[in-house]
Structure 1
Amino acid sequence: MAVDPCKQTSLHCLYYWADETPDSVYLTQPYPDGRVEDISWKQAADQVSCMAAHLNSLNLPEPSNIGILGKNSAHWVLADLAIWAAGHVSVPLYPTLNGETAAYVLEHSEAKLLFLGKLDGTADGWNDIRNHIPEDLPIISLPMSPRDDTPGWLEIIAGQTPAEPRLPASDKLATIVYTSGSTGRPKGVMHSFRTMISVADGLQQLFPVSSDERMLSYLPLAHVAERAAVETQSLCYGFHLYFANSLETFQADLQRARPTLFFSVPRLWMKFYLGINAKLPPKKQKLLFNLPIIGGAVKKKVLRQLGLDHCRAALTGAAPLSAEIVNWYRNLGLELLEVYGMSENFGYSHANRPGQARAGSVGMANPGVEHRIGEAGEIQVKSPGQMLGYYKNEEKTREDVTEDGFLKTGDMGEIDRDGTLRITGRVKDLFKTSKGKYVVPVPIESRFSHPWAEVVCVAGANQPQPCMMILLSDEARAELLAGADRGVLEQELAAQLDAVNAGCEAHEKVAFVVVVMEPWTMENGMLTPTMKIKRNVIEDFYNQQMDGWFSQKKKVVWEF
């Protein structure tokens, strides 16, 4: 499928749809005061052209790297486009970064200006970041910015004559995406306009997309997954993009959008699942779902309550999701498809196909993608979305890309005879017990499933056997802290542990599970911005307690 010459890049796409469907709504933005703003394709293009004219007037070196810091919003996307229209390179920053890391990204990228967007210091890192922004760095505030002492987007465009956009060449550097960093300093992944738009072209062959779609943008736009699946696709195919206001209004925002396509990460799919379980216990679900006529109606009601009753395809990625949870959603009638990709290939690598999904796998290689298993079982991928390299780090680029152009993913996996890929863990996640035996934690974690267990982490380096830490759902923890009986839950966790161990080799058998007290969040550094566990941080946090847990010789250990 050839790329439309009128839509060579995301910026070309903006002006294409502004000409084709000028009055159709592109962006819908809710505000904290309850107001909801619709921005048409023509309005979006006009705002981008006006901001590009302003950026031109600043006489920045061409091209300059320009930061975008803020939660998802309509003007985050417009700022991204305006940076490109002025001939510059966008550098997104996660809103949950700590101040030190934000300062590092701004310094390493040599950012010449910062667009400061939606932040409030409650569920983001603003209170720390604010003290680490260089005093001499120019700032433009987007709507809902925490700063009112800088030039503002709306004020600037109100008095600005639009500039003729500089439509870029496909191979030009478009963005530097700093990895979410489960370990070490984030790396700056360089993507061209071609690598970005190739993703939308390839995904179209897997999930036919049209201008009639609706999507809700709420996962960090600073990450390639949201940028590829939501921003780039909405621009390429001209569909309506909605935004969420806050965690408290998320359900209402989802109901407003009624998405036809929905992308989420395992942590949130699990939260949805646990929320339904709290209202409709699993035993009752099983009974109702199996009733001939009533079952179908109940399933539709559940999807309607989730806001996903119009959704014809849903994607999950960034971390493993247990086959049991995937099948639960499919039983509801939601086509939940696991996909796989990395920052280094703009999220474009593997996907399960509609009607052909295989739970426990990430599907087959996407159109145009080659894959193979290299040394130590490591997955290697060559993708149309593959990065230009790491910014200012040629040595790391040479280390991670083979001489024949395959990306070393750092993930371990197996490819079956049909070409389906199953991920078995991270190369760096392997650890040795005190008996000298290697343990691969991810497959063990994926087999543990309890309706109250939100996240699990297998650890135990240099211990006789592995152990497993479990974070319960907020609702379950609240009930237990309020004095609910733990006996039944303890029996269920012990039984689930036995079931997991039945499939483990002797050296892999989990000695016990620990029900932890401290929530694992992005704010305390235990989760990445895409809600993957930071295994090394979690292990370091609990390391001193390991010997004490082992000495208790119990199947279930309680931290509270």
Structure 2
Amino acid sequence: MSSAQSVIGSDKIAGRPASVAHLFLSRVKATPDAEAYRFPVPVDEHAADSAPGAEQWRSLSWAQTAVRVQNIAAGLMSLGIEAEDRVAIASSTRIEWILTDLGNMCAGAATTTVYPSTNADETGFILANSGSKALFAENAAQLAKAVGQRDQLPALATVILIDAPAERPEPEGLTVLTLAELEERGAAHLKEHPDAVRDAVDALDPEQLATLIYTSGTTGRPKGVRLVHDCWAYEGIAQQESGLLRADDVQFMWLPLSHVFGKTLISGQIATGHVMAVDGRVDRIIHNLPLIKPTLMASAPRIFEKVYNGIAGRARAEGGAKYKIFLWAAKVARDYARTAQANRIATGRDSVPLALSIQHAIADKLVYAKIRTAFGGRLRGSVSGSAALAPEIGYFFMGAGVPILEGYGLSETSAGSAVNPAEDVRIGTVGLPLPGTEVRIAEDGEILLRGPGVMRGYHEDPERTAEVLEADGWFHTGDIGELGPGGYLRITDRKKDMFKTSGGKYVAPSEVEGKFKALCPFVSNILVIGNGRNYCTALIALDEPVIMQWAAEHGQSGRSYAEVVGSPEANTLIEGFVKKLNGELQRWQTIKKFAILPRDLDVEHGELTPSLKIKRPVVERTYAEAVTEMYAGANEA
């Protein structure tokens, strides 16, 4: 490991409560009438002026939120749920996810998170491994997964349905309630025991289990990450102290709350008391942004890439002068952001040459203002995490006035470990450690983290815990990185993803993949291959809306997506971008051959995790024939 001089950050943060449940009750007391949450609800279909599928947004104050949370907590107690009993949530992101999670914590229980997209077999494993006694299921489909694995789940006694079906299911051996019925039970319980929730919260210990989040992993069964109440209380206060979240923010939450990235932002929101608009439907993001007008939004890099590709695709479709203007404006945005950042680091001022400043002002009126309007017009920052952001994408949005605050963290660190401050974003880095988190670079370049947000181990798995967590609290992330000027952290690659060619040269695939995403507006996913080979190749999946628009413009209307991406024209198109990419790489990094995949990678086929990370071994196995063909006849040294 590196010397103590390489440690940056602090392991102390003052004034945090014992739990987020404490933080929540304090927030309710401090600002009971302030708006806490917004969420969409269907308009009454019988209303005279309602259209099919119409929605309206409703709000909950902190006091109103507290009533529902306390009723849920008391309802769980009435079912016999006790301290540290696991209660699972299998639901998409919606207001009820937050209410039930807070209800769990205020009852002293621990939440087991389950992605709604998780298949029945893995859902059964998570519920069994966690020993969950109750399950909040979004709908009958989520209930069916538990019922199908019933023989593996001796601890599971109760399922609470968030969306009540027309006919109540009555699976053998399970009590099924609706969420409304649970809340009614809770209200009745509180009439008899008015101090029940307060007493349960007062009894919480900072080291008591609060959450089990199961890592999706790339191979084998997922691991249950044990996060205690102190992890979340720390995250809430650290996000507040860092300035990442502010009391006057309006945050748009669409991220999956089963993932640690989304869940950690709930802690910060409770600490600051700002408004959170909640709607997890990805296909509604573009529609919701102008309605919500957020000041802050968190996202995975893939969303920014899709937005950029969409903007470029529309400009290309308009053709002629408009496309040339977009290409010019995109270059100006990157040049402006890159120059301003370099001067800020060197002199402390975001100065740019006058000529570039004038070009930027013109481009702002022609292009950037429209982009900001599409994001709602008030976005002061968009937090990016869960995967690497291509720097060229970051420079583009920064120059357009939509700064992306790239951050860093893992499930094992309660997500938030480092983030770029809004006032000093340094693209290409993941920012500064959050207050209270220490960062250390080992001798082999691995990033080590220590602080209150680090997990207390993997659930019932001491051997794998010992592999990554040292006795003195340092957690081995498996990521390679370095500390730059000002203590900013830069991620080079996943330690396990880096490979060595047969010529002995190391390749960081994410670096190559990020460069290609910035160059090629048609790419959706790319996987660089070359471990033990004498050259690198790539599997490339194309963005369907963008490539289909291109196809319509080039005489391929009526063809299916698979026909378009398999055409010689598409191959020639992508080959041009690969040649551009190779011009920016070292010889041993260059892509000698590539294959365009017949469909995009997705969660359903197991090729992406729910947080949209590529499962490299799965993709390589699925497309082993294409990989073999790219190396056919090669002299594998």
Global fold match (TM > 0.5): yes
The correspondence for 1:540, drawn from 621, 625, 632, is 621
Q: How far off is 1:375 after superposition?
A: 4.6
Against the structure 1 CA distance between its residues 172 and 203, is the aligned structure 2 distance closer, same or farther, given a 3 Å change threshold? Answer: same
**If the length of structure 2 is used for normalisation, what is the TM-score?**
0.79
Q: Which residue does 2:451 correspond to in 1?
A: 383
Q: CA RMSD in A?
A: 2.8
1:169 correspondence with 2:190: no
Could you tell me whether the CA contact under 8 Å between 1:433 and 1:461 is conserved in 2? yes
1:111 aligns with 2:132: yes
Q: Distance in 1 between matches of 2:536 and 2:234?
A: 42
TM-score w.r.t. length of structure 1: 0.89
Indicate the residue corresponding to 2:160 in structure 1. Answer: 140
The change in CA–CA distance for 1:146 and 1:202 in structure 2 (over 3 A counts) is farther
Q: 1:317 to 1:404 in 2, by over 3 A?
A: same
- What is the deviation of 1:147? 8.2
Q: 1:323 aligns with which of 364, 367, 391?
A: 391
**2:267 aligned with 1:199:** no
Q: Is 2:253–2:280's contact at 8 Å kept on the other side of the alignment?
A: no
Residue 235 (structure 1) aligns with: 270
> Structure 1 CA distance, aligned partners of 2:445 and 2:66?
47
**CA positional deviation for 1:69:** 0.6
Identify if the C-alpha distance between structure 1 residues 245 and 504 changes in structure 2 by more than 3 Å, giving closer, same or farther.
closer
Other-structure match for 1:399: 467
* 2:4 equivalent in structure 1: none
Displacement after TM superposition at 1:293 (Å): 5.2
State the Cα distance separating 1:258 from its structure 2 match: 1.4
Shift of residue 432 of structure 1?
4.4
Of the three residues 370, 374, 388, the one matched with 1:305 is 374
In the other structure, the counterpart of 1:460 is: 530
Query: Which deviates further from its counterpart, 531-540 or 271-280?
Result: 271-280
Number of residues paired by the alignment? Answer: 546
Seen in structure 2, the aligned counterparts of structure 1 residues 489 and 327 have a Cα distance that, compared at 3 Å, is farther
**Contact 1:411–1:426 at 8 Å: present in 2 too?**
yes
Q: Which residue of 1 aligns with 2:305?
A: 270
Classify 1:274/1:127 alpha carbon distance in 2 versus 1 (closer, same or farther; 3 Å): farther
Q: Could you tell me the percent identity over the aligned residues?
A: 28
Shift of 1:413: 1.5
How far apart are the structure 2 equivalents of 1:292 and 1:364? Answer: 29
Question: How has the CA–CA distance of structure 1 residues 247 and 422 changed in structure 2, closer, same or farther, with 3 Å as cutoff?
Answer: closer
Q: Hey, what's the Cα distance between the residues in 2 that align with 1:194 and 1:153?
A: 28
Query: What amino acid maps onto 1:467 in structure 2?
Result: T
Q: 313-322 or 200-209: which moved more?
A: 200-209
Counterpart of 1:190 in 2: which secondary structure? strand
Q: Per-residue deviation at 1:426?
A: 1.3
2:603 corresponds, among 481, 501, 522, to 522
Query: Which of the numbers 510, 514, 532 marks the counterpart of 2:591?
Result: 510
Instruction: Name the SS of the counterpart of 2:112 in structure 1.
Output: strand
Which protein has the bigger helix share?
Answer: 2
Flag structure 1 segments of 5+ consecutive residues without an equivalent: 554-560
Name the SS for the 1:19 alignment partner.
Answer: helix
Out of 92, 114, 124, the position equivalent to 1:71 is: 92
Secondary structure, aligned partner of 1:404: coil
Partners of 1:275 and 1:495 lie apart in 2 by 20
Greater Rg by CA: 2
Residue of structure 2 in register with 1:556 after alignment: none
1:87 & 1:361 partners in 2: Cα distance? 38
The equivalent of 1:558 in structure 2 is none
Correspondences of 1:154-303 after superposition (within 5 Å): 154-158=180-184, 160-161=187-188, 162=190, 163-164=194-195, 165=197, 166-167=200-201, 168-207=204-243, 209-229=245-265, 231-244=266-279, 246-281=281-316, 283-287=324-328, 294-297=362-365, 298-303=367-372
Contact (CA 8 Å) 1:143, 1:154: kept in 2 or not? Answer: no
Cα distance in 2, alignment partners of residues 504 and 280 from structure 1: 28
CA distance in 2, matches of 1:271, 1:147: 40
Give the 3-state SS of the residue equivalent to 1:548 in structure 2: helix
Structure 2 unmatched runs, 5+: 1-11, 43-52, 170-175, 317-322, 333-358
Matches of 1:127 and 1:425 in 2, distance apart?
Answer: 39
The CA distance in 2 between the partners of 1:441 and 1:202, in whole Å, is 32
Q: Out of 68-77 and 482-491, give the one that drifted further.
A: 482-491
**1:366 deviation in Å?**
2.6
Alpha-carbon distance in structure 2 between the residues aligned to 1:142 and 1:403: 42
Residues in 1 aligned to 2:297 and 2:126: alpha-carbon distance in whole angstroms: 30
For 1:104 and 1:140, how far apart are their aligned partners in 2? 19
Higher relative contact order (CA 8 A, sep 6+): 2
Counterpart Cα distance in 1 of 2:282 and 2:147: 22
2:31 aligned to which of 5, 21, 26: 21
CA distance in structure 2 between the aligned counterparts of 1:44 and 1:304, rounded to whole angstroms: 31
